[in-house]
Homo-oligomer: A and B are copies of this chain.
């Protein structure tokens, strides 16, 4: 009944008039258009705008839009010539390792080992580049490890830049279809991840907009799509998909239970809009989605989506750094904040209906400093509803203090090595693996560990992505890397496992070793292979360092099951006898424990009016909601999937 009226042309006309008045003629404006959540001004002479340092800021203030100035495509030098010129301008000591172009935004990405020399004194060299090639230069430090993922994402963005630009314009016109509105009502529906862990998906709805936060899959329930997929049968979700009304999808972080079903939407043409997330999350989720395809194939299953669908994810992703505020629909404004959980993980803050309501969705978060990250952000401009995870929300879910956890880890390792055993640490390729690496690296550096640490599964590639985004790491790590010039990820004690032969050699070897292998819950991936072969030997140890979901092999082993039937090669049932030592050390979790969860609500500012607990087993969500209500006298709820809650 209600059609989406669009006033975007009227709005643009008005803005063009204002811009033409404020921007000097010499800039030679050629086009003004919305592209994604920005208003882009194309000019033949960007310098004329840049001269007035405050002009863009003032424009943004008057127009209440994020403004980008870009060189008109006609003035851009062809990439080959531009590349040549850049290499002439920049001194060879800068050690440029890669130059790539993103024509959709008129940007040239210059990767160099010494980025300072590309920028030059007071940005002198950079300015010279701009003047000569007209592309807007973005200077990036050459990551110490090569990431195939990052390379292929850049490739996609470069080759698909025409499509991408068209896409961004469509997104822009959708966002600005109407002047900013006061919403009449706001509500959320749990499509997945309410009173459970896995398949996180939250549909935020107003009378004007629809936005999805996360779209995960429960990999522990793959045999039953009704439990593995978010609720495609929720009538409001079907409506939004059928009518093509989904304004955006926001991804809190890369783990598959938050991002794993995104490519599926493209496979079945269910979505054609923007995905907002941080740059590291984009890269990591692509890595994990690709890995997910491979795991399914190796399990003999038909993958849920194809590599080309992941490519669509890349093409549809608009990245935002922490703290960048963007309009994503006529009545919603998005900001991502550090969540401290894994690289790029974000708390989603939505400012809805021009001041009517503010919601923060924590996603998975950590509220103490870890080796990798700062604690989650707890300060928002405004906040009425907080939707928070409850993985460790039970009243007894206190994790071991970090120091004790590290001590215990080292102890188990030492004892295992002493008896010539191997230590298997199943870990999600993204997150726990790097955290454990940083712990072990420190002990190794001071001489505490001398056996090799093998990294198997996607861990090596995930680590490479970590090294590409040092600004997303903890201050301590950044200091090490930038000021002390030492990158702990590069310690030679870490050895990637290249193939299944190397893996078998490690298993067969009589030498002790530490193996960090994905997956973290023993559902697919090399960790399962190691486990099967290492389990019978009582000299070995397995150490669980992360949450083991209901229904996973990891959970069974953790609970002490000693004989585990599995289907081996040729389809025969085999029984794995678990004689290895089984340890659980929960102090490394990327999830806030009960203490952190309570203290987060105590410290978050402003204090929300309402807390909704999600992402936990039913009793944990309920327990946390009830304790928060008692302690802080605020309204709390632990809703079910398919519950819709009116926020305003």
Give A residues with C-beta under 8 Å from B: 1-2, 184-185, 187, 189, 205, 207, 210, 226, 232-236, 238-243, 268, 639-646
Contacts and interface: CB of A to CB of B under 8 A. Distances in A.
Nearest to A236: B235
Contact of A646 (B185, B239, B643): B643
Contact of A1 (B232, B236, B239, B645): B232
Nearest to A203: B235
Contacts of A243: 238, 242
B239 A238 contact: yes
Contacts of A639: 646
A48 to B, nearest CB: 47
B644 A640 contact: no
6 contacts: A1-B232, A1-B268, A187-B642, A238-B243, A639-B646, A640-B646
B189 A1 contact: no
Contacts of A205: 235
A237 to B, nearest CB: 8
Given A239-B238, A242-B242, A642 B644 contact: yes
B642 A643 contact: no
Interface centre among A185, A235, A642, A646 (most CB of B within 10 A): A235
A638 to B, nearest CB: 12
Given A184-B226, A239-B242, A233 B2 contact: yes
Contacts of A640: 646
Nearest to A2: B233
Given A2-B233, A233-B2, A642 B238 contact: no
Contacts of A207: 233
Given A235-B240, A239-B238, A645 B646 contact: no
A298 B484 CA distance: 85
Contacts of A226: 184
A235 B184 CA distance: 14
Top 4 closest pairs, chain A to chain B, by CB: A644-B644, A239-B239, A235-B236, A640-B646
A64 to B, nearest CB: 27
A226 B232 CA distance: 29
A178 to B, nearest CB: 15
B642 A185 contact: yes
Contacts of A241: 1
Contact of A238 (B1, B189, B268, B644): B1
Nearest to A642: B646
Contact of A644 (B239, B268, B643): B643
A419 B615 CA distance: 72
Contact of A239 (B2, B184, B187, B235): B235
A199 to B, nearest CB: 15
A226 B235 CA distance: 22
A238 B234 CA distance: 12
